[in-house]
Each structure stands twice: as C-alpha cells, then as structure tokens.
C-alpha cells in the first residue's frame, strides 16, 4: 500500500466532490498553439501564460472546479504580478494537477495507431511535481477506430502504460487520472464505439488490477460512447447516456473514486447534456460519482472571445465560468440548456 494512501483517498474524493469537476488546461505547447493559430492569436510563451492566467484567476472558479490540470510549462509560470499559478490555485482551495505523459506517438508496425510515451524518468518527475504542489496527474492514451483497428496490440500496450503510470503516481503521492480516449473521429456507429470502449476499459482495468493500482485512489477519465463524427446516423442524447452508463457499469469496479469524462470534440452544449442525463437518470445505479474533466467544452467559448486581447479578459472569464457552472449543474442532473 502506498505510504500516501490516506492522502490519495482524500484527494481523489475532493476531485469528484458533489457539484464539482476537473478543468483540463494541460494542452501541450503544440496543441495550445494550434488552438491559438486557428483564432490568429500569436503563438508565444507570453500568450500561453496570459491565457492560463485568465483561466486560473476567473472569480468563483473554485465553486465548480475542484482542480485544474496543468502542462509542464504552466506549472512553472506565474501571474503578471508574480504569484505562482500553483499558489493561485491552492489559495482558493483547488488542487493543482499535472499532465505527465509526453504524448501519443506512432505505434511501430501498426499503421494509424498510437502509443502514449512518458514512462522514462517518470518516478523522478512525479517527485518534482509533488514537491511543487501537484496532487494529481493525468496520462492520456489514444485509441482510434477504423478499418480493422484498434488492434489488440494497441489496446494492450496503452493499457499497460496507463497502469505503470498509475502505480508510479500512487507511489509518489499523486492521484492518477487514467484516461483511455476512444476517438470520436470516423464514421463508426454507436454500437462500434461501445464494443471498442468495452474492450479498452476491460484491458485497462485488467492491467490496473494486475499492477496493484488502488482503485479508490484513482479517477477514470473515459470518453463517452458516441457515434463517430462522420456517422450519418447520430444517436440521441438519451441513447449516448444509456450506452455510456452501461459500458461503464460493465467495466469499472465499484471502489473507483470517480468517473470524470473528457469532452472529446463534442460541443459545449452536447457534452453537458450527455453528462446531465447520465446523472439525472442513472446516478442511483452508479457506484461512483460521474462528472466532467473537460478542456474544449469549457474553454472554447472563452478562448474565442478573448483572442489574445487584454480588454476582453473579464468577459472571457464570464464565458468560462458559465460553462463550468453548466457542467457543475449537469454533474448533479440539474442542467437545462
Ligand atoms: P477535451 O475535453 O477537449 O476532449 O480534453 C480533455 C482532455 O484533457 C484530453 O486529454
């Protein structure tokens, strides 16, 4: 058992406390720059810092957000006035999180499939992040649906890496967020997404168990069971909620501290609507809290308003807070669009 077991349990519980969710702002520099470039925002370190300051200093953010997930560059940054972001986060009672994977890379011998890297030196990096104040971590694995894929090899190597990461996190005092994302890209049906998510979660929990990860000291960050973006037959909100809950109930052990979804390219409104029905209809039959850990579905309206202009910060913060509030309501089954 980890020497941090009691602390990890308390942290995991706090991350999924009633009415709260996690805010992912851990885009790598490459991803952040891509989102900036789409809006013609100059892709500089200072703009990335200013944007993260906008988010983290949003008034009342901690009412709805238990913890933001940061990127390595961000956890070392400060506000314009010189207060470290970690201090900004902890002062209002939120928990700092950190992305520790180093990205999804091409999987050798498997065209169009990825394996997430970042295990080398991870024990030492976790120790550094813990000493900087981080209390939870994230690792994202990517599973692609396509012709003949995902392969069992892709699912296995990613599940193994997720479990090795999670065990190292618990050893070093960070609650692992275990994120196996089944991508929304493609024209696959809801049923196919269910099968792939089922296979993936089964493999991930098999590895977590085999490698001694404590379920009550981790959070699962899954994708919802949806149809591919290009699928002509798009399911209803009710169908997505039902399929997702069925898949989770089949695969996620009861002691898991919480389930916090990614938004995965769904619109802000749609991802909130799905989360809302899951909680309004199925909370009574789920053994774990079901909440959000969204990036785009919370940030995008704020980023589109801000566009790198300092006089737009306050309104952008209002937009961010609005999405956080909507998803908080959805996590309680009380959201109305
Ligand atoms: P999205 O909510 O934009 O999918 O991002 C969640 C996340 O953290 C991906 O790793």
Tens-of-pLDDT digits for all 337 residues of the chain?
779 999 999 999 999 999 999 999 999 999 999 999 999 999 999 999 999 999 999 999 999 999 999 999 999 999 999 999 999 999 999 999 999 999 999 999 999 999 999 999 999 999 999 999 999 999 999 999 999 999 999 999 999 999 999 999 999 999 999 999 999 999 999 999 999 999 999 999 999 999 999 999 999 999 999 999 999 999 999 999 999 999 999 999 999 999 999 999 999 999 999 999 999 999 999 999 999 999 999 999 999 999 999 999 999 999 999 999 999 999 999 999 8
CB 135 within 8 Å of CB 173: yes
Q: Residue 228: phi, psi to the nearest 5?
A: -60, 150
State how far the alpha carbon of 274 is from the alpha carbons of 57, 109, 144, 214, 223, in Å.
Answer: 28, 36, 22, 28, 11
Angle, vertex CA 189, rays to CA 185 and CA 195, nearest 5:
95
State how far the alpha carbon of 270 is from the alpha carbons of 78, 188, 240, 334, 337, in Å.
Answer: 34, 19, 10, 15, 9
Q: Give me the residue label for tokens 């490698």.
A: 211
The rounded Å distance from CA 3 to ligand 1 centre is: 30
Task: Give the global pTM.
Answer: 0.98
Q: Is 239 a residue of the active site?
A: no
Q: What beta strand segments (E) does the chain contain?
A: 21-24, 65-70, 97-99, 104-106, 114-116, 136-143, 175-182, 219-220, 258-261, 290-294
Note if the bond before 278 is cis, omega within 30 degrees.
Answer: no
Give dist(CA 65, CA 293) in Å, integer.
Answer: 9
DSSP 222: P
| Beta-bridge partners for 78 | 84
| Beta-bridge partners for 136 | 97, 175
The residue whose C-alpha atom lies closest to atom 8 belonging to ligand 1 is: 24
| ipTM of predicted assembly, 2 dp | 0.96
CA 62 to chain centre: 17
Give dist(CA 308, CA 39) in Å, integer.
Answer: 9
State how far the alpha carbon of 145 is from the alpha carbons of 153, 193, 220, in Å.
Answer: 14, 8, 20
Q: Is 334 a residue of the active site?
A: no
Closest of 299, 261, 270, 223 to residue 38, by C-alpha: 299
The rounded Å distance from CA 24 to ligand 1 centre is: 6
DSSP 133: T
Instruction: Tell me if 214 CB under 6 Å of ligand 1.
Output: no
Q: Which atom, in ligand 1's list, is nearest to the CA of 294?
A: 2
State how far the alpha carbon of 223 is from the alpha carbons of 48, 263, 285, 322, 325, in Å.
Answer: 26, 7, 19, 22, 21
H/E stretch holding 123 reads helix 122-132
Q: What is the pLDDT of residue 2?
A: 79
H/E stretch holding 107 reads none
The rounded Å distance from CA 201 to ligand 1 centre is: 18
Q: What is the pLDDT of residue 228?
A: 98
71, 140, 295, 324: residue to mutate for ligand 1 pocket, most atoms within 8 A of CB: 295
The rounded Å distance from CA 128 to ligand 1 centre is: 24
Catalytic option among 27, 138, 221, 242: 221
The rounded Å distance from CA 295 to ligand 1 centre is: 5
Q: What is the pLDDT of residue 337?
A: 83
| Beta-bridge partners for 143 | 182
Instruction: Tell me if 264 CB under 6 Å of ligand 1.
Output: yes
22, 23, 24, 69: residue to mutate for ligand 1 pocket, most atoms within 8 A of CB: 24
């Amino acid at each position: 058992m980890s020497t941090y077991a009691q602390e990890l349990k308390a942290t995991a519980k706090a991350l999924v406390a009633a009415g709260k969710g996690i805010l992912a702002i851990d885009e790598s520099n490459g991803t952040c720059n891509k989102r900036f470039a789409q809006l013609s925002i100059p892709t500089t370190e200072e703009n990335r810092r200013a944007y993260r300051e906008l988010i983290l200093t949003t008034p009342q953010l901690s009412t709805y957000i238990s913890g933001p997930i940061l990127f390595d560059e961000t956890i070392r940054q400060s506000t314009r006035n010189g207060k470290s972001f970690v201090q900004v986060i902890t002062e209002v009672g939120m928990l700092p999180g950190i992305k520790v994977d180093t990205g999804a890379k091409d999987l050798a011998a498997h065209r169009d499939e990825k394996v997430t890297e970042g295990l080398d030196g991870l024990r030492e990096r976790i120790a550094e992040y813990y000493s900087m104040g981080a209390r939870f971590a994230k690792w994202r694995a990517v599973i692609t649906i396509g012709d003949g894929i995902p392969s069992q090899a892709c699912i296995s190597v990613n599940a193994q890496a997720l479990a090795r990461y999670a065990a190292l996190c618990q050893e070093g005092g960070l609650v692992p967020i275990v994120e196996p994302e089944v991508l929304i890209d493609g024209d696959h049906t809801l049923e196919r997404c269910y099968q792939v998510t089922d296979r993936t979660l089964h493999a991930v929990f098999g590895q977590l168990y085999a490698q001694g990860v404590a379920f009550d000291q981790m959070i699962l960050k899954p994708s919802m069971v949806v149809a591919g973006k290009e699928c002509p037959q798009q399911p209803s909100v009710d169908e997505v909620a039902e399929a997702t809950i069925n898949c989770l109930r089949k695969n996620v052990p009861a002691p898991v501290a919480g389930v916090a979804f990614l938004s995965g390219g769904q619109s802000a409104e749609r991802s909130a609507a799905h989360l809302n029905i899951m909680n309004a209809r199925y909370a009574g039959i789920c053994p774990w809290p079901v909440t959000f850990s969204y990036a785009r579905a919370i940030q995008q309206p704020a980023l589109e308003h801000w566009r790198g202009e300092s006089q737009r910060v306050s309104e952008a913060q209002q937009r961010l807070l609005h999405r956080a509030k909507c998803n908080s309501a959805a996590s309680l089954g009380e959201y109305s669009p």
